[in-house]
Amino acid sequence: MSPTRPAVLITGAAAGIGRATALRFARAGFLVGAYDVDEVGLASLARDGGDGIRAGRLDVTDAANWVRVLDEFTAENDGRLEVLVNNAGVLSSGRFEEIDLAAQQRMVQINVGGVLNGCHTAFPHLARATGARVINLASASAIYGQPELATYSATKFAVRGLTEALDLEWRDHDITVQALWPLFVATAMTDGMHTRSTDTLGIRLTADDVADDVFATATSTRRFAGVHRAVGVQAKVMFAAAQVSPGRVLRGVNRFLAAPRD
């Protein structure tokens, strides 16, 4: 393979944002490692993505699985990885006490543990590249804890903190770590989801909207463009307001969004 062909590894790539992101990078000439536990979805992606896609099974909660996948994928690229997109995630919505505890623990294992595993095991490969990027999918629910999304929101707060810390730690290795903050996205994850916030704000983003922002962030030539990037008008307004609003104001806004509607 030509050494000028950059490599990107994307988790949760079988559907939704991950699939759209894999296709976006493939169109731009990247070597794309597309990984998921959904092998049927991956087979469909590989057919649609052409010879730039390398699809395979990855359980992001399994660090040993990460090591094997990274070694195999980067073997085509002299062990380098230019971009890591930690996209895999799950969501259960509803009142905290009514969501099965196992489902909530699974959110933590995948949404937090998966990102932690990916960053830790990918580091040697990222450090071999010039100007490597890590893009972590966070959420506008990490601005302030969201009713009916309590544990999901908490996992995204964790992703936010890890992203901020690693961006500072890894600057010495020429690795930029950033988080993307979409609000609600029309994917299978939100199919049939009815919380008071979604009923109030709607679901206005598509998977392609987020994929375009992932690609733009990963390929930007601005070295210090900021750690966080809100996706979509709603998230941008919310994120900007959060930078100047006291905590009690954010709490009031979230109480309003989660209030019952007639």
Chain segment 56-93, per-residue pLDDT in tens: 999 999 999 999 999 999 999 999 999 999 999 999 99
Token pair of 42 as six digits: 């991956």
Query: What are phi and psi for residue 90, nearest 5 degrees?
Result: -130, 160
CA atoms of 155 and 152, how far apart (whole Å): 5
Higher pLDDT among residues 140 and 2, named by residue: 140
What mean pLDDT, rounded, does the chain reach? 87
| pLDDT tens, residue by residue, 151-161 | 999 999 999 99
Q: Is the pLDDT of residue 135 over 70?
A: yes
Residue type present at position 169: E
Residue 152 annotated in active site: yes
Residues above pLDDT 70, as percent of the chain = 79
Do 234 and 201 form a contact (C-beta atoms < 8 A)? yes
| pLDDT tens, residue by residue, 155-191 | 999 999 999 999 999 999 999 999 999 876 766 665 5
Q: Which of 152, 170, 184, 215 is catalytic?
A: 152
Q: What strands, in cross-sheet order, belong to the sheet with 175-182? A: 53-57, 31-36, 7-11, 83-86, 132-137, 175-182, 228-231
CA atoms of 160 and 152, how far apart (whole Å): 13
| Domain that residue 119 falls in | 7-257
Q: Is residue 55 part of a domain?
A: yes
Residues above pLDDT 90, as percent of the chain = 67
Q: What pTM was estimated for this model as a whole?
A: 0.88
Terminal-to-terminal C-alpha distance of the chain: 60
Q: What does the DSSP assignment read for the chain?
A: --TTS-EEEEESTTSHHHHHHHHHHHHTT-EEEEEES-HHHHHHHHHHHGGGEEEEE--TT-HHHHHHHHHHHHGGGTT--SEEEE-------S-GGGS-HHHHHHHIIIIIIHHHHHHHHHHHHHHHSSSEEEEEE--GGGSSPPTT-HHHHHHHHHHHHHHHHHHHHGGGGTEEEEEEEE--EESGGGTT---HHHHHH---EEHHHHHHHHHHHHH-S-TTS-SEEEESHHHHHHHHHHHHS-HHHHHHHHHHHTS---
Q: Is residue 262 part of a domain?
A: no
State the pLDDT at residue 259.
Answer: 52
Higher pLDDT among residues 53 and 145, named by residue: 53
Within a 10 A sphere around the Cβ of 192, how many other Cβ atoms? Answer: 6
Q: Is residue 216 part of a domain?
A: yes
Q: Is residue 54 part of a domain?
A: yes
Low-confidence winner among 5-9, 52-56, 100-104, 142-146 (lowest mean pLDDT): 142-146
Do 30 and 77 form a contact (C-beta atoms < 8 A)? no
CATH number, domain containing residue 33: 3.40.50.720
| pLDDT tens, residue by residue, 234-246 | 766 766 666 665 5
Across the range 116-128, mean pLDDT stands at 98
Per the structure, the count of domains in the chain is 1
CA-angle at 34, arms to 29 and 36, nearest 5°? 165
Q: Is residue 18 part of a domain?
A: yes
